[in-house]
A and B are shown apart, each in its own frame.
Chain A
Amino acid sequence: MELKNYFVASRFWLLLKLELFRSRRAIGMMLVITLGMLILFGLLLDIIVSDIRLVYDHHENYAASMMIGGFILSSLAFMDLSSSLRRSNYLTLPASTFEKFLSMWLLTSVGWVMLYTLVFWLYTVIVNPIAALLFGPITFQPFEPFGEYSVTVIQYYFVLQGIFLVAAAHFKGYVFAKTIFVLVLFTLIIGIVSYFLMRDSFLVDHECTAGHCEILDSIEAHTGWQIVKFLFWWTLAPLCWIVTYLGLKEKEV
Chain B
Amino acid sequence: MITIDKIAFSYPEKRDVFDSLDLSLSGGNIYGLLGKNGAGKSTLLKLIAGLLFPAKGNIEVLGFKAKQRYPDFLREIFIVNEEFFLPSSSLREYQMLYSRFYPRFNEILFDEYLRGFGLDKNQKLSTLSYGQKKNFLLSFGLATDCKVMILDEPTNGLDIPSKSQFRKIVANAIDENRTFIISTHQARDMENLIDPIIILDEGQVVFFEHYETISKKLTVSKEKEIDGKKNIVYAEPTFGGYTVVRPNDAGGETNINLEILFNAVIHSREKIKEVFSA
Minimal Cβ-Cβ distance residue in B for A5: B70
Q: Which of A18, A92, A96 contacts B77 (CB 8 A)?
A: A92
Contact residues in B for A93 (Cβ distance below 8 Å): 74, 98, 101
Query: Quick one: closest A residue to B102, CB to CB?
Result: A94
A88 touches B85 (CB 8 A): yes
Chain A residues with CB under 8 A of B75: 94
Beyond A94-B71, A94-B101, 20 additional pairs, beta carbon < 8 A: A4-B71, A4-B72, A5-B71, A18-B98, A21-B97, A22-B87, A85-B83, A87-B51, A88-B79, A91-B51, A92-B74, A92-B78, A93-B74, A93-B101, A94-B72, A94-B74, A95-B71, A95-B74, A95-B101, A253-B52
- The A110-126 residues at the B interface (CB cut-off 8 A) are none
Chosen A-B contacts, 10 in total, with CB atoms closer than 8 Å, are A4-B72, A86-B85, A88-B51, A88-B81, A91-B69, A92-B51, A94-B72, A95-B74, A96-B70, A253-B46
- Verify A5–B72 contact, CB threshold 8 A: yes
The answer to whether A92 and B84 touch (CB under 8 A), given A252-B51, A253-B51, is no
B residues lining the A interface (CB < 8 Å): 46, 49-53, 68-72, 74-75, 77-79, 81, 83-85, 87, 93, 97-98, 100-102
The answer to whether A97 and B69 touch (CB under 8 A), given A11-B101, A18-B97, A253-B46, is: yes
Q: How big is chain A's contact interface, by range?
A: 20 to 34
Minimum C-beta distance from A170 to chain B (A): 16
B101 touches A14 (CB 8 A): yes
| Minimum distance in angstroms from A150 CB to a CB of chain B | 35
Pick the residue among A8, A83, A92, A95 that contacts B79 (CB under 8 A).
A92
Question: Shortest Cβ distance from A2 into chain B, in angstroms?
Answer: 9
Residues 1 to 57 of chain A near chain B (Cβ within 8 Å): 4-5, 8, 11, 14, 17-18, 21-22
Q: Does A226 sit within 8 A of B, measured CB to CB?
A: no
Which of A5, A11, A92, A253 is the most central at the interface, judged by chain B CB atoms within 10 Å of its CB?
A92
- In the bound complex, do residue B71 and residue A96 qualify as a contact, i.e. CB atoms below 8 Å apart? yes
CA gap between A85 and B152 in the complex, in Å: 13
Taking chain A's interface residues, is the majority helix, strand, or loop, or is none over half, making it mixed? helix
Question: Residue of A at shortest CB range from B96?
Answer: A21
Q: Is the CB of A14 within 8 A of B100?
A: yes
Minimum Cβ distance to chain A for residue B147 (Å): 13
In the complex, A12 Cα to B81 Cα: how many Å? 26
B241 smallest CB distance to A (angstroms) = 45
Residues in A whose Cβ lies below 8 Å from that of B97 = 17-18, 21
Inter-chain CA distance A5–B68, complex, in Å, is 9
B85 & A89 in contact (Cβ 8 Å cutoff) = yes
Task: Give 8 closest A-B pairs by Cβ, nearest first.
Answer: A85-B85, A94-B74, A94-B75, A253-B51, A94-B101, A5-B70, A86-B85, A94-B71
A250 and chain B: residue at smallest CB distance:
B53
Smallest distance from the beta carbon of A99 to chain B beta carbons, Å? 8
Set of chain A residues within 8 Å of B53, measured between Cβ atoms: 250, 252
CB distance from A103 to the nearest CB of B (A): 13
- B84-A85 in contact (CB<8A): yes
